[in-house]
Structure 1
Amino acid sequence: MSIQQAIEQQVKKAVKSIYDVTLETVEFQPTRKDFEGDVTLVTFPMLRQIKTNPVQLGQSIGAYLLENVPQVDRFNVVQGFLNIVLKDSLYLEKFLEINRQEDFGKATPGPASQSIMVEYSSPNTNKPLHLGHIRNNLLGYSVSEILKAAGNTVYKTQIINDRGIHICKSMLAWERYGNGETPASSGLKGDKLVGKYYVKFDQEYKKEVNALKEQGKTEEEAKDTAPVLLEAKEMLRKWEAGDEKVVDLWGMMNQWVYDGFEKTYDALGVDFDKNYYESQTYLLGKDVVNQGLEKGVFYRKEDGSVWIDLTDEGLDEKIVLRSDGTAVYMTQDIGTAIQRVKDFDIDGMVYTVGNEQDYHFKVLFLILKKLGYEWANYLYHLSYGMVDLPSGKMKSREGTVVDADDLMEQMTLTAKNISEELGKLDDYSETEKEELYRIIGLGALKYYILKVDPKKRILFNPEESVDFQGNTGPFIQYTYARIQSILRKADFDTSSQKAEIPIGYNLHEKEKELIKQLLLYPETVQLAAENHSPALIANYTYDLVKEFNSFYQNVTILGTTEQTEKIFRVQLARTVGEVIKSAFKLLGINVPERM
């Protein structure tokens, strides 16, 4: 139970005792900096049930708490706000509780815990991952870790879009122009090699369209009848028919891409428990549509196509089967969702997909509810905005998208340049330096993206993200490294030494504020899980680091002559370091021992 929850119980007792009124809720707010207090009770909402003035109400509740709650030291009332000052002993006791917990901030699974699948990444196998995929992967991975920390069982998955005309375009271009080129012979990652031929197809297609237009065809006619496109469509038809040669080519080139993706995922620090492949799921859902027809959830039009009418829910009519009986994406998503519940017996799912698909997921979730699936009430679309870069920076070779591998490489280089300017790495080996640059660069990238509310669009500035001051990953990493330096310099074993509290110890204001911030960590994890928002964890960590740096600048840690005081302060610093490391782990960010 948090301090605020304990105070809330006592306030309800006070009001019941004094006024014989039962309060359903009690409203608190942070104590303003210009007033003394640790917890501030807002009395105005109580006036609906209690006929008195707000100051008198605050005075009477404060007096009750002072008399009946040993942890309350004093109070003051400012208009309708009761500012409660708690005894240092309470905060010291809470700090000792933190030190006794091995996984402070992480909940153990309980009756309310759920089994949740989180889908993220879900790329196409015709091109490498790009900047948009990076935000997607970072969000999906972090939300997975946060949900786990909140006590849930989590399965991480992606559905790889490995079929369709876009795949055949790459295949046809490689077959025509590749001369047997492979990742091994070219030195290119497999996804980049396949992406190269996707671009090549587009170049040849545009040439053919222009030639047809010169022959007198309209642009639409030219686009529809370009021979290279017709050949790609024929290749798709052969794939769907199981043509051995086409299927073998498809399998070889897709494997190149899978291998390339794995290298990118490994560098980015994300993983998956299971991959689903569209080539294996695209027929799922058709049986469900037939069942839905029998239940009256769907209806069939005269041309044979099957639809659902969602106009009563403020949406529109949506097709779920074409007139020729083939599935649309919605059909596949219905079938895949049902298959995942069968595979993992999950309670719900989180789909990490850009906000351009908001409408699609509203429709999908509503259809699954109408089909009678209870778990459909626990589906969530983790919708996010686009990531933009300042113009002219880090364009890919095609000049259109920012390649994920190139961006990570650029971030490492940016971290190297800035670190060398600061000149604090003279005693590092070259290997140690390179690893540190990678940790700082990736930390900067991840933190800059994750500190922003997922729904907001981001303008990502690489140089700004690697700043060692302000709300950045490197600033927090540097503070963690500073704490490790304190621990190394301590004249006692900080790994085994338990926090010792001198009898009657009076907390310095900065020590108290730091403990108060530490105590917010478990509820921040829960709040981040409820809101599917890594930004809450990121900004909590920044606030914790600001409090620590204020503590560091105002309180003597290693220089104090009182050994018990020194041990307590070092242990306080150590605990802050552990929470920083724990919080950053939820964001998928590493912390260096030295910087």
Structure 2
Amino acid sequence: MNFIASLTRQAIQALYQQDIPESAINLQETRKEFEGQITVVTFPFTKFSKKSPEITGTELGNYLVAHAPAVASFNVIKGFLNLSLTDEYWLSLFHQEVLSDQFGILPKNGERVMVEYSSPNTNKPLHLGHVRNNLLGFSVATILEAAGYDVIKTNLVNDRGIHICKSMLAWEKFGHGETPESSGLKGDKLVGNYYVLFDKQYKQEVDTLKAAGKSEEEAKRESPLMQEAQELLRRWEAGDPHVIALWKRMNDWVYDGFEKTYERMGITFDRVYYESNTYLLGKDIIEEGLSKGVFFKKNDGSVWIDLTAEGLDEKLVLRSDGTSVYITQDLGTAQLKYDDFKMEKSIYVVGNEQDYHFKVLFHILKKLGRPWADGLYHLSYGMVDLPSGKMKSREGTVVDADDLMDEMVQTAKERTETLGKVDEFSETEKLALYDMIGMGALKYFLLKVEPKKRLLFDPNESIDFQGHTGPFIQYTHARIKSVLHKGNHQLSKDAIAPKALETIERDLIKELVSYTDVISNAAETYSPAVVANYLFELAKLYNKFYHELSILKTTDTLSKNFRLNLSAATAKVIAAGMELLGIQVPARM
């Protein structure tokens, strides 16, 4: 619609002898209750037209109709000039843009961006919170790629630390040699069970010590189990062969389990970093910061940074004994990632409980003079709640990602069979469809909400063939494919269109044309919700088109072929858009 802004600028120059930039012209989509497709806000122009918003709008409207062949008519509502564009204009966009092989694929922009997501701990399986993280990160990466970026998908695995040692110690003390093979459990679930068991035994020890007169802090500090875990961590950091062998063995179990979950989720990475390889990084950066005066030492030898001027506070970056804290290794890892890929942007997909941490990290890197620090971005997302309340890993009350996906597919099976939609499907086709619907419902429900918002995930609500859901959009795609099959039609670039469009046809073309803008907007805001909600509106609009107009039964061959072509283009955009969300769409259901 850039030509409208350009023509409006010309009109203002001609009518009011004022030269204003196109950026000062506010264009909006015309509200549904008014006639037109695009609206020019005229209030700002009254200061030099010296006339009311209504008269100003009328004068501009007359000029645009006279000088722009694409503008068919206009109406003015207070300070809003609503323009109706010609059918020829919309049909031209449909044929030149929507039917192009490159539609929805933006040209390469020469920028490289890294998206880091998942970042699991190797002491437990992935849970519902991880599912949102993975789906969000993978979808953002896919959208950025469609928007023309060169994208690197990375995962930083938290595979060391006291929490890892807790699982290791519990397995050594209580495991009796149990393995994934002997237990029949996925490796990540087995290790997660021992993390829960450690916490259970630890709490019992703390309660016993408190009953003997110790304070809670003393009890936690003097717990034999916790002391053993801390000793195990010291031995790991010292390179004790036995501890390292145990650590590698149990981590391998977890990685094998993670891979199965990632595959089921449809998630991939281009590079995986491990904290065990990066936790010592950053100490050289601390020395650099001390020499530059960015950091300062306290009397006990610990190193800090003062960020009070930035509205934060003083932050520890190195302990008095010379050991790293999280921010130390994150500084080193950020440098390592940049050295590896030289990207212009780096996006960290991490929950909003880490907002403060990333503010500190980015401020430090800027103070250290890293030019690439301006390209760092924390994609902060809200937690996921369930109708039953919050999840707690240590207590074993989390919603396991694998169990959740199984439940979604089972629910999809039950709902689909109840509706009698699969009577003619083979068993193999049924299983593929249930998986497609169940996973589509899960992904869409988690991605349709803006990342920053906390969300309540209701599995039953997510699988509704008539609601604001993935299955509704999938069903719309299948409906279109059925129409195309019955009409023996495939998308055609050469199909001749009627000269006059029905209102719903024009509306559908307008919605399709906006798809590339949707991708750009989603990429700029790092929000798959922009794509998800667009697809819902597109599916709703197609269903309105389907019910209002005859497609296969119309006697006008020209209209029939055009409506089939419009249907095929809609199916193409739905499939492409859902792919950006990591969701497959069925050809029938």
TM bucket, shorter chain: over 0.9
Matched, 1:509 2:503: yes
1:570 corresponds, among 564, 569, 577, to 564
1:311-460 mapped onto 2 (5 Å cutoff): 311-391=308-388, 400-460=397-457
Q: Distance in 2 between matches of 1:354 and 1:256?
A: 26
Q: Distance in 1 between matches of 2:208 and 2:304?
A: 41
| CA positional deviation for 1:80 | 2.0
Deviations 1:215-243 (A, max 9, x none): 43333222211222211111111111111
- Would you say the 8 A contact 1:30–1:40 is kept in 2? yes
Matched, 1:494 2:493: no
Q: Distance in 2 between matches of 1:411 and 1:281?
A: 37
| CA positional deviation for 1:179 | 1.8
Q: Distance in 1 between matches of 2:550 and 2:439?
A: 33
1:132-281 mapped onto 2 (5 Å cutoff): 132-281=129-278
| CA positional deviation for 1:206 | 2.2
| CA positional deviation for 1:399 | 5.2
Deviations 1:282-329 (A, max 9, x none): 011110110111111111111111111111111101111111111110
Q: Distance in 1 between matches of 2:487 and 2:381?
A: 45
Residue type of the alignment partner of 1:501: I
1:16-95 mapped onto 2 (5 Å cutoff): 16-24=13-21, 25-95=24-94
* RMSD between superposed Cα atoms in Å: 1.7
Residue type of the alignment partner of 2:248: G
- Would you say the 8 A contact 2:508–2:541 is kept in 1? yes
- Would you say the 8 A contact 1:72–1:86 is kept in 2? yes
Residue type of the alignment partner of 1:61: L
Q: Distance in 2 between matches of 1:394 and 1:57?
A: 58
1:546 corresponds, among 530, 540, 546, to 540
- Would you say the 8 A contact 1:92–1:501 is kept in 2? no
Deviations 1:166-217 (A, max 9, x none): 1111111111221221111211100001111111212222232233334433
- Would you say the 8 A contact 1:396–1:402 is kept in 2? no
Deviations 1:41-80 (A, max 9, x none): 1110112333222222212211211121111112222322
Deviations 1:441-464 (A, max 9, x none): 111111111111111111111111
Q: State the match for 1:463 in structure 2.
A: 460
- Would you say the 8 A contact 1:395–1:402 is kept in 2? no
1:115-126 mapped onto 2 (5 Å cutoff): 115-126=112-123
Q: Distance in 1 between matches of 2:222 and 2:76?
A: 80
Residue type of the alignment partner of 2:542: F
Q: Distance in 2 between matches of 1:102 and 1:482?
A: 23
Matched, 1:591 2:588: no
Q: Which has the higher mean CA deviation after the structures are superposed, 398-407 or 157-166?
A: 398-407
Q: Which has the higher mean CA deviation after the structures are superposed, 203-212 or 281-290?
A: 203-212
Q: State the match for 1:528 in structure 2.
A: 522
TM-score normalised by L of structure 2: 0.97
Could you say what secondary structure the match of 1:338 adopts? helix
| CA positional deviation for 1:563 | 2.3
Deviations 1:99-145 (A, max 9, x none): 442231221112xx421111111011000011110111111111111
Q: Which has the higher mean CA deviation after the structures are superposed, 218-227 or 432-441?
A: 218-227
Q: Distance in 2 between matches of 1:289 and 1:261?
A: 34
Distance change in 2, residues 1:478/1:348 (3 Å): same
Count of residue pairs brought into register by the alignment: 587
- Would you say the 8 A contact 1:466–1:472 is kept in 2? yes
Distance change in 2, residues 1:547/1:240 (3 Å): same
Distance change in 2, residues 1:397/1:188 (3 Å): farther
Q: Distance in 2 between matches of 1:275 and 1:265?
A: 13
After TM superposition, where is structure 1 displaced by more than 4 Å over at least 4 residues in a row? 392-399
| CA positional deviation for 1:392 | 8.0
| CA positional deviation for 1:411 | 0.6
Distance change in 2, residues 1:55/1:185 (3 Å): same
Q: Which has the higher mean CA deviation after the structures are superposed, 563-572 or 257-266?
A: 563-572
Residue type of the alignment partner of 2:247: W
> Percent identity among equivalent residues?
58
2:575 corresponds, among 569, 573, 581, to 581
Could you say what secondary structure the match of 1:103 adopts? coil
- Would you say the 8 A contact 1:501–1:565 is kept in 2? no
Q: Distance in 2 between matches of 1:240 and 1:29?
A: 60
| CA positional deviation for 1:393 | 11
- Would you say the 8 A contact 2:304–2:318 is kept in 1? yes
- Would you say the 8 A contact 1:481–1:592 is kept in 2? yes
Matched, 1:130 2:124: no
Q: Distance in 1 between matches of 2:312 and 2:531?
A: 35
Q: Which has the higher mean CA deviation after the structures are superposed, 274-283 or 29-38?
A: 29-38
Q: Distance in 2 between matches of 1:118 and 1:397?
A: 29
Distance change in 2, residues 1:210/1:185 (3 Å): same
1:2-21 mapped onto 2 (5 Å cutoff): 4-21=1-18
Q: Unmatched 5+ residue regions in structure 2?
A: none
Distance change in 2, residues 1:394/1:388 (3 Å): closer
| CA positional deviation for 1:395 | 10
Distance change in 2, residues 1:396/1:426 (3 Å): farther
TM-score normalised by L of structure 1: 0.96
Residue type of the alignment partner of 2:251: N
Q: Distance in 1 between matches of 2:126 and 2:415?
A: 27
